[in-house]
A and B are shown apart, each in its own frame.
Chain A
Amino acid sequence: MPSLGADMEAGTLVEWMIKPGDQVRRGDVVAVVETQKGAIEIETFEAGTVRELTADLGQKLPVGAPLAVILAEGEAAPEKAEDEGGEPAAAAASATAPEPKPAAAPAEPVVARPPRAPAAPPPGGVAASPAARKRAGELGVKLENLTGSGPGGAILLDDVERAGTARPAQEPAEAEKPTPAAAQKPSPMAEMRKAIAAAMSRSKREIPHFYVSQTIDLQPATAWLEATNAGREPADRLLMGALFVRAGALAAAQVPTVNGHFTENGFAHSAPVHAGVAVALRGGGLVAPALFDAQDKGLDAIMADMRDLVSRARAGRLRGSEMTKGTITISALGETGAEAMTGVIFPPQVALVGIGAPQRRPWVVDDRVVPRETVTVVLSVDHRVCDGRQAAKFLAAFDDLMQSPEAL
């Protein structure tokens, strides 16, 4: 059971996507786990042949518990692993979990990932976790009749189980069984608030934050975006958010002390910039899945990845690596609203870029005051790692990059 977030202690295995005998490669999605932040697809970090699935569906497992045994090529099968109890197989062969804690991740080379299928709208227009779909099929419960309590209203396994329990059961005895777990279990939204509370409290307890801010001229980016999108069909248009992520990634690549993870061993800088893109979920809560290698991707590629991440965040289909490997978070308030946001760093990261809603403001251009689109960027930084000079350098680089959007 991999750690899928700074404060995750356990997860419930809800779906296997492999079976004994299957060949797997590093990065393949092998199972779905439900966490406080919804259903997450988990990947294997080993390659080889699946020998055994040691965890059962529906089982809640602590972080670090073995889920399955994968034999590397040429590796001998462990002897009678199942007779020994405990975690025998993991010792002889490689278990899919745990993936090294998020802390160790950033220094690693990035795993080559198989190309992703573009995110499609959920079948039938209903957002539901894979486990919920499967269980709904088994119980004969129609997803469209349920109210989802997961991120963005996605239907989770619990919703289906509750609906299944609530239906008039075939066997009266079954229906009369008390279901205290279902009745008393906090809603997934309450679970997500707990997860956010834990991560943010830890951040404020452990990370000595400081903040630098800069209001920048957004007019060149606004004008460029307008002209670029005017010639494009809706499916190919860009959002200002993609420019912010791109500029943030390029600026982070120039300032090593804002990009990486801080753990008990100190700061580990990451050369690749895996930009955590904050996605607000309707109804409350947010997730910040990582957009991998943002420093090497052009605007169109970043936009495509953002579309994919947002739609999968809403449908409850994010991956474990996306939840843990972000090296800096970029959070934008959107097109309207508050002008600045001073954010809380998402541990074990060391910086967060908070971008306010663009505002039309008086601005000095060539010694004249003119109305311009502006945006205020606040960088929250971990003072254990970074000082004011470097933080200011990040903002100066971000500003410079946004002045030449055509070069992004």
Chain B
Amino acid sequence: MTPQEIRAAYLEELTRVAPDIDPETVADDDHLQDDLELDSMDVLNLVTALHARFGVDIPESDYPQIATPALAVAYLGKAG
């Protein structure tokens, strides 16, 4: 997958977990909890969705590495 494809997939799963977020307005450095106001349940749901979609095991200690679109693209690209 290209970084653009990973980013699009990440945003798709993010907006499925948080349907009120407009993917057009999400910046690369927006933080899931600090900027987009996801709570711990939303983050877990996103991790679950990314795990199912990418087949990547995301241990809890790696959650900070998917906390923004930019970080997630790098992490998922490497892991995939």
A278 to B45, CA, bound (A): 18
Give the contacting residue for B51; candidates A126, A153, A234; CB below 8 A: A234
B39 pairs with A334, CB closer than 8 A: yes
A127 pairs with B19, CB closer than 8 A: yes
Number of interface residues of A (CB under 8 A): 31
A280 pairs with B39, CB closer than 8 A: yes
Interface residues of B in 32-52 (CB under 8 A from A): 33, 37-42, 44-45, 47-48, 51-52
Q: Inside 8 A of A315's CB, which chain B residues have their CB? A: 19
Q: Inside 8 A of B17's CB, which chain A residues have their CB? A: 121
Give the contacting residue for B59; candidates A154, A230, A283; CB below 8 A: A230
The closest CB in chain B to the CB of A225 belongs to B60
Report the minimal beta-carbon distance from B41 to chain A, rounded to whole angstroms: 5
Q: Inside 8 A of A237's CB, which chain B residues have their CB? A: 44, 60
The closest CB in chain B to the CB of A336 belongs to B33
B44 pairs with A122, CB closer than 8 A: no
Q: Inside 8 A of B44's CB, which chain A residues have their CB? A: 234, 237, 239
- A226 interfacial by beta-carbon distance below 8 Å: yes
Q: Inside 8 A of B38's CB, which chain A residues have their CB? A: 282
- B24 interfacial by beta-carbon distance below 8 Å: no
A307 to B52, CA, bound (A): 17
B40 pairs with A334, CB closer than 8 A: yes
Q: Inside 8 A of B39's CB, which chain A residues have their CB? A: 280, 310, 334
Give the contacting residue for B20; candidates A280, A283, A310; CB below 8 A: A283
The closest CB in chain B to the CB of A306 belongs to B41
- A229 interfacial by beta-carbon distance below 8 Å: yes
A/B interface sample: 15 pairs, CB < 8 A: A121-B19, A122-B19, A125-B15, A125-B16, A127-B20, A148-B19, A148-B20, A152-B18, A153-B20, A154-B19, A229-B60, A234-B44, A234-B48, A280-B39, A315-B19
A152 pairs with B20, CB closer than 8 A: yes
